[in-house]
Amino acid sequence: MYTWSFAPILQASDLFLLGAWITVVYTIGSIALGLVLGLAVCFARLSGNGPLNWFAQGFQELFRCTPLLVQLLWIYYALPLILGIDIPNWAAAMTTLSLYAAAFYAEVFRGGIVSIDKGQSEAGAAIGMSGWQVMRRIVLPQAIRRMMPAFINQSVTQFKNTSLVSVISVADLTYMATVVNGQTYRPLEAYTAVAILYFVILFPITKFADVVERRMRAGN
């Protein structure tokens, strides 16, 4: 019978906190970059420009139809060989996570925008608004409300997906479990502690997402 002992784990709590911090940084960083890039991809899809749309769609499908772990390994190990440059692990991790997020966010944004009734943009146009004014003042405010639950959901997934960067030695929360395990030979406790930390951070966020969704439905 295995006897649990969390005492050695608690002694390494500073490592876990550092790891959690790194995980948060990669999550927020890749969400921010993914948001900007995702918006660009979304507008490229909606632009009505053939080649631009084709390129954006190609990008999306490439990153949506291959596993994130494979993307991470490919960008860290294969891409530097092709380009003949050195890509540090933190840069490969941030780039991959951001591109992956962008591919999914773009679809969330696009879905939100096209779900807004065409009559809304026509009503804006009919009072003389420009295409950009219609997008910014009429379509986007409604679309953002509608895409919020899917956006939060995708961001929660993004937070958990950062755990994969540990395979290229980025010192995130999951990586720290490996480190602590090496020091203490307590793998069960180390991974349990990590699981608890992920949960403690994400649970309030998913609850918040539920509240947002309820309020949004009440608003419509």
Partner 1 sequence: MTSKPSSTSTPSSASSGSLLEASGITKNFGALKVLHGIDLAVKAGEVLSIIGPSGSGKSTFIRCMNMLERPDAGDIIFRGRRVGPKHVGDAHFMGQGELRRHVGMVFQHFNLFPHKTVLENVIEGPVVVQRKSRAEAVEIAMDYIAKVGLAEKRDAWPNQLSGGQKQRVAIARALAMQPDALLLDEVTSALDPELVGEVLGVVRSLADQGMTMVIVTHEISFAADVSERIVFMEAGRIAAEGSPTDILRSPSNERLKAFLSRFHA
Residues engaged in binding partner 1 (CB under 8 A): 117, 119-120, 122-130, 133, 137-138, 141-142, 145, 220
- In angstroms, give the least distance from the CB of 67 to partner 1: 39
First to last CA, the chain: 56
The residues near 37 (Cβ < 8 Å, ≥ 6 apart) are: 98, 99, 101, 102, 105, 106
Token pair belonging to 165 = 């960067």
Is 50 or 119 the residue whose CB approaches partner 1 more closely? 119
- In angstroms, give the least distance from the CB of 155 to partner 1: 23
Q: How many CB atoms lie within 10 A of CB 139?
A: 20
Q: What is the 3-class SS of 47-113, one letter each residue?
A: CCCHHHHHHHHHHHHHHHCCCHHHHHHHHHHHHHHHHCCCCCHHHHHHHHHHHHHHHHHHHHHHHHH
- In angstroms, give the least distance from the CB of 141 to partner 1: 5
Is 1 or 127 the residue whose CB approaches partner 1 more closely? 127
Is 129 or 156 the residue whose CB approaches partner 1 more closely? 129
Token pair belonging to 175 = 């990586």
Is 133 or 183 the residue whose CB approaches partner 1 more closely? 133
Q: Is 77:58 a contact under the CB 8 Å cutoff?
A: no
Is 50 or 128 the residue whose CB approaches partner 1 more closely? 128
- In angstroms, give the least distance from the CB of 135 to partner 1: 12
> How many Cα atoms within 13 Å fall on the side-chain side of residue 109?
22
- In angstroms, give the least distance from the CB of 52 to partner 1: 22
